[in-house]
Amino acid sequence: MPRIVVDVMPKPEILDPQGKAIVGALPRLGFTAFSAVRQGKRFELTVDGEVTEEILAQARNAAETLLSNPVIEDVVNVEVVEA
Amino acid sequence: MTELPLIGEAVAVAAHPQLAGAKIGVVTFPGTLDDRDAVRAVRLAGATPVALWHADTTLGDVDAVVIPGGFSYGDYLRAGAISRFAPLMSKIIDAANSDARLPVLGICNGFQILTESHLLPGSMIKNDHLKFMCRDQVLRVENNTTAWTGDYGVGQEITVPLKNQDGQYIADEKTLDALEAEGRVVFRYVGWNPNGSRRDIAGIANAAGNVVGLMPHPEHAVEAGFGPEDGSGTEGLGFFTSVLNKIVGDNK
């Protein structure tokens, strides 16, 4: 069954405290190549049947209204993934 | 409902006979923690608490609403994000924006729900130090013209408990400047900023002053012997007496 993947990231200008904690932990494990980490969210919306333009529009709408908060987050990607 | 008092002598401050007739709704969502304390605070202030359920489709005849703290829907997705779409919330949003300007107070998770509902601007993210924080917190009252702060003085400092993980108030600079210019910063943290909130903001109001949200918990500082040891321990009660006086004043 096809899925619609929605990726949400904290806005660039907003400090991401979780990403900051992760970047602090990486070098302790020897991962020294990374100077910054930002943590986002990935949603997978399963569709029973074909993904029509209407369903994709619904997903984009849901991404903007429920899945993300436009004050602090950006929807960076909405795409269809065939199973 | 548990009858007063649990210990010692509870002193209700109600003097005006009209106060007891004032009905203040307290909303419970799945995962709400502080609804019982809010109900008790309403009763101690002298009003009649009305329990409201998130799935209710009507507000009944309440004169004001408190959205209490907790972890509604486990803070899943974002704190307050799922509660914002509860059936009762659409009624609260309509009533808050109506000409009647229903007074609404959001405490902690309730504040997060109010920002997700766009009744208040900005948002909350994780505390800058990433830890859950629980302490007695000094706040300065910056605006006493809101529905919930009339019984305080401007510049008055009050101590109430603070307990949160996602308590860092953020908004863009334009929004922050507008909030300051319009006097809508209602409370600021004093002494130490416990979560990295922009401009030490602990609570804000909407333009009309009927909707107020804050992260600290006035409903935990309403009864001697239970509240913070600094100060009287009852410095949160003024929220609830303020809205009662507002309601009674409006009904004169």
Question: Is B199 touching A (CB cutoff 8 A)?
Answer: no
Does the annotation count B16 as an active-site position? no
CB environment B206-243: b (16+ within 10 A), e (fewer): beebbbbbbbbbbbbbbbeebbbeeeebbbbbbbbbbb
Q: State the smallest CA–CA distance between residue B237 and chain A in angstroms.
A: 32
Residue type, B84: R
Question: Is B94 touching A (CB cutoff 8 A)?
Answer: no
ipTM of the complex: 0.83
Check B123 against A18: CB less than 8 A apart. Answer: no
The reported pLDDT for the residue numbered B249 is 86
Q: State the smallest CA–CA distance between residue A71 and chain B in angstroms.
A: 6
Instruction: Supply B157's token pair.
Output: 């400092």
pLDDT at B170 over 80: yes
Domains of chain B: 20-251 (3.40.50.880)
Rounded distance, CA B49 to CA B248, Å? 16
Rounded distance, CA B4 to CA B249, Å? 27
Tell me which of B4 and B95 has the higher pLDDT.
Answer: B95
Count Cβ–Cβ pairs < 8 Å, chain A vs chain B.
33
Confidence tier at B13 by pLDDT (50, 70, 90): low
Chain B positions touching A17 (Cβ under 8 A) are 125-130, 168, 196
Q: Assess contact for B104 and B210: CB atoms under 8 A.
A: yes
The pLDDT tens digits of the residues spanning B110-149 come to 999 999 999 999 999 999 998 999 999 999 999 999 999 9
pLDDT at B8 over 60: no
The pLDDT tens digits of the residues spanning A13-57 come to 888 888 999 999 999 999 999 999 999 999 999 999 999 999 999
Rounded distance, CA B126 to CA A13, Å? 15
The reported pLDDT for the residue numbered B4 is 52
Instruction: Tell me B138's DSSP state.
Output: E
pTM: 0.90
B2: exposed, middle or buried (Cβ count in 10 Å: 0-12, 13-18, 19+): exposed
Give domain limits for chain A: 3-81
Could you confirm whether domain A3-81 is CATH 3.30.70.141? no
The pLDDT tens digits of the residues spanning B35-84 come to 999 999 999 999 999 999 999 999 999 999 999 999 999 999 999 999 99
Q: Assess contact for B86 and B30: CB atoms under 8 A.
A: no
List the single residue in A with minimal CA-CA distance to B197.
A15
Q: State the smallest CA–CA distance between residue A28 and chain B in angstroms.
A: 19
Q: Assess contact for B186 and B105: CB atoms under 8 A.
A: no
The reported pLDDT for the residue numbered B16 is 60
Q: In chain B, which residue ranges form alpha helices assigned H by DSSP?
A: 35-45, 87-97, 109-116, 173-181, 237-251
pLDDT at B2 over 50: no
